[in-house]
Amino acid sequence: MFCNGQPADAAALGAALVNYGHFTSLQVRGHAVQGLDLHLQRLAHATQALFGSVLDEGQVQRWMAQALHLAGVADASLRVTVFSRAFDFRAPLATVAADVLVAVSAPVRLSAARAVCSVRYQRDLPAIKHVGTFGLFQQRREAMAAGFDDALFLTAEGLVSEGSTWNIALHDGQQLVWPQAPALRGTAEALLRQHWEQPQVVRAVDSVELDAIQAAFACNASGIWPLATIDGRALAGSEALAGQGRAVMAGVPWQPLRA
């Protein structure tokens, strides 16, 4: 772990324990990232929203590349967390400089099919990938305790929004459907929507429509995986649909991390 380009010490990590900040998670292969610009834009936008300050995207990219170099790896999972040692919850409107924590871990690629259950839940500030993850992890835990693999979130009005740590794409037999509801719009979703050449649409999806869905997959920066069932209803076409998604992502260029 590295904070502002230096090995993270106890002082930096102690400040990062404050439950106020945001992050992005990404996969690196051969010192390159799919959707690197989207990850950096996400960090810059959220830094302005939470701290009122401007994030130097170029510096963040250099710190990411440096962390890989110091860890001696070209393939990895990176989590880039933005917090502020100057943030004071008693004066939250103050504009404060951001600190950047880069954590390097082993690369992953998610692909196994999952069974999910729908629950009515919405994260705070759903458009921001913030560090307040207690609620969504608890929803996943409760889903697993009930015999499922994960939770699919619905709004209070019953609209499909997102999974615990992933976005969802549905197929209604004619086109790919991206649910329109308050949610974190992921980098994988953005890349798939940009490069998907078959019919697709973004629209509100009521939970009652799930009974007619023929296939679905989940996606985030760690991969694409089929949803075998939703609320116990089997989706026979999900494996094939996820395969289409992976084929699309295979053609998305990797952007090099520049030191």
Among candidate residues 105, 128, 159, the one where a domain is terminated: 105
Same domain, 128 and 94: no
Among candidate residues 75, 105, 135, the one where a domain is terminated: 105
Is residue 231, in this structure, part of any structural domain at all?
yes
Among candidate residues 105, 122, 151, the one where a domain is terminated: 105
Is residue 258, in this structure, part of any structural domain at all?
no
**CATH of residue 241:** 3.20.10.10
pLDDT recorded at residue 13 = 84
Same domain, 83 and 101: yes
Question: In the predicted model, is pLDDT for residue 6 greater than 90?
Answer: yes
Question: pLDDT tens across 142-190, in order?
Answer: 999 999 999 999 999 999 999 999 999 999 999 999 999 999 999 999 9
Enumerate residues 6+ apart whose C-beta is below 8 A from 226. 113, 114, 215, 216, 217, 218, 235, 238, 239, 241, 242
Same domain, 245 and 144: yes
**CATH of residue 23:** 3.30.470.10
Q: Could you tell me the pLDDT band of residue 259, with boundaries at 50, 70 and 90?
A: confident
| Mean local confidence (pLDDT), 2-27 | 90
Same domain, 21 and 132: no
CA distance 224 to 243: 8
Enumerate residues 6+ apart whose C-beta is below 8 A from 9. 3
pLDDT recorded at residue 14 = 83
Indicate the number of domains in the chain: 2
Q: What would the two tokens of residue 129 be?
A: 């990938």
Q: Could you tell me the pLDDT band of residue 93, with boundaries at 50, 70 and 90?
A: very high
Same domain, 136 and 218: yes
Is residue 219, in this structure, part of any structural domain at all?
yes
Same domain, 118 and 101: no
Is residue 14, in this structure, part of any structural domain at all?
yes
Same domain, 139 and 101: no
Same domain, 35 and 97: yes
Is residue 44, in this structure, part of any structural domain at all?
yes
Is residue 30, in this structure, part of any structural domain at all?
yes
Is residue 12, in this structure, part of any structural domain at all?
yes
Same domain, 219 and 184: yes
Same domain, 198 and 145: yes
Q: Which domain holds residue 80?
A: 2-105
CA distance 134 to 175: 34
CA distance 17 to 5: 19
Is residue 257, in this structure, part of any structural domain at all?
no
Q: Could you tell me the pLDDT band of residue 257, with boundaries at 50, 70 and 90?
A: very high
Q: Could you tell me the pLDDT band of residue 16, with boundaries at 50, 70 and 90?
A: confident
Question: pLDDT tens across 108-143, in order?
Answer: 999 999 999 999 999 999 999 999 999 999 999 999
